[in-house]
Amino acid sequence: MDDLNRRIVGLLLRDGRATFQEIGAAVGLSAPAVKRRVDLMRARGEISGFAAIVDPHALGWDIEAYIEIFCRGNVSPAELQRELGGIPEVVGVATITGDADAIVHVMAASMAGIEESVERIRSTGRVERTRTSVVMSRLIDRPVRPRGGA
């Protein structure tokens, strides 16, 4: 990816609804040129999509937790993705090194919602044990930025 694309991505990270014209004016390109670059980046998977950034509180999600999961036998990442992807409260999943097999980030409306999510995760079958850490206060949550400037 060249520097021009990095600048375009930087702008789209800050405003995903910026017009191609605006972006073009900012980076010194015409709108069609910007569109072609963005289309290419989407086709290559560098940009996987666009989304609204929503205040979790507005959705009624007042509590969040990290749930480490320990599985029996082998866990296929694809399987985990399929099983957990269907739970809307699950906002993040990653397989990790260390004693746990994966870490799951969930949001919920109440402690009961967290418990329910844990139950659903456990009931997927392969999960042997979970360890839940409820978030007391979120201190930092930044969007990921391009390395070396935007």
Closer CB to DNA, 20 or 114, in the complex: 20
Burial of 12 (0-12, 13-18, 19+ CB in 10 A): middle
- Tell me which residue of 56, 69, 70 sits closest to 110, measured CA to CA: 56
Residue 20: which of a copy of itself, DNA, none does it interact with, CB under 5 to 8 A by kind?
A: DNA
Distances (CA, A) of 15 to 4, 12, 44, 132, 143: 17, 5, 21, 34, 12
**CA–CA separation, 59 vs 56, rounded Å?**
5
For the chain, the distance separating the N- and C-terminal CA atoms, rounded to the nearest angstrom, is: 14
Q: Does residue 31 interact with DNA by CB under 7 A?
A: yes
Closer CB to DNA, 21 or 110, in the complex: 21
Q: Does residue 55 interact with a copy of itself by CB under 8 A?
A: yes
Candidates 13, 22, 75, 124; binder of DNA (CB under 7 A) is 22
Name residues contacting a copy of itself, limited to 83-112 (CB under 8 A).
84-85, 88, 90-98, 100, 102-103, 107, 109
In this structure, are residues 128 and 71 in contact, taking their beta carbons and an 8 Å threshold?
A: yes
DSSP helix/strand/coil, 75: coil
In this structure, are residues 127 and 121 in contact, taking their beta carbons and an 8 Å threshold?
A: yes
Minimal distance, residue 119 CB to a copy of itself, in Å: 18
Residue 98: which of DNA, a copy of itself, none does it interact with, CB under 5 to 8 A by kind?
A: a copy of itself
Q: Does residue 4 interact with a copy of itself by CB under 8 A?
A: no
* Residues of the shown chain interacting with DNA in the complex, contacts defined by CB under 7 A: 4, 19-22, 24, 28-33, 35-37, 40
Which residues would be at the binding site for a copy of itself (CB under 8 A)?
1, 6, 9, 12-17, 41, 44-56, 58-61, 64-66, 77, 80-81, 84-85, 88, 90-98, 100, 102-103, 107, 109, 131-150
